Amino acid sequence: MSLTGRKVAVFALGGTIATTADPLTGGLTPALAAEQLLRDVSGLDALGVELRVHDFRRLPSASLSLPDLDALHAAIGAELDSGRVDGVVVVQGTDTVEETAFYLDLLHQGEEPVVFTGAMRDATKAGPDGPANLYAAVIAAAGPWLRGAGCVVVLGDEVHAARTVQKSHTTSPAAFTSPGSGPLGLVAEGRVRLHQRLPHRTVVPAGIGATADPRPVRVALHTVAFGDDGTQLDLLEGRCDGLVLAALGAGHVPEWLVPRLRRLADQVPVVLTSRIGNGPVLTRTYSYPGSERDLLAGGLIAGGDLSPYKARLLLLRLLATGCHDRTRIAETFAAIARRGC
9: pLDDT strictly greater than 90? yes
Cα distances from 137 to residues 8, 156, 253, in angstroms, run 10, 10, 41
Is 33 in a helix, a strand, or coil? coil
pLDDT tens digits, 262-310:
999 999 999 999 999 899 999 999 999 999 999 999 999 999 999 999 9
Phi and psi at 260, nearest 5°, equal -65, -45
Which of the two residues, 78 and 23, has the higher pLDDT score?
Answer: 78
Q: Mean pLDDT, to the nearest integer, of 155-178?
A: 95
71: pLDDT strictly greater than 60? yes
pLDDT at res. 341: 41
Q: Mean pLDDT, to the nearest integer, of 63-90?
A: 95
**Helical spans, DSSP H, in 52-96:** 66-81
Burial bucket for residue 121 (CB in 10 Å: 0-12, 13-18, 19+): middle
**Which of 239, 235, 233 has its CA nearest to residue 300?**
233
pLDDT at res. 339: 57
Q: Is 78 left (phi over 0), alpha (psi -120 to 50) or beta?
A: alpha
Banded pLDDT at 112 (limits 50, 70, 90): very high
Residues 16, 96, 177, 332: which is the catalytic one?
A: 16
> What does the alpha-carbon distance between residue 46 and residue 129 come to, in Å, rounded to a whole number?
19
Is 58 in a helix, a strand, or coil? strand
The overall average pLDDT reported for the chain is 92
pLDDT at res. 51: 95
Q: Mean pLDDT, to the nearest integer, of 13-17?
A: 90
Catalytic residue check, 96: no
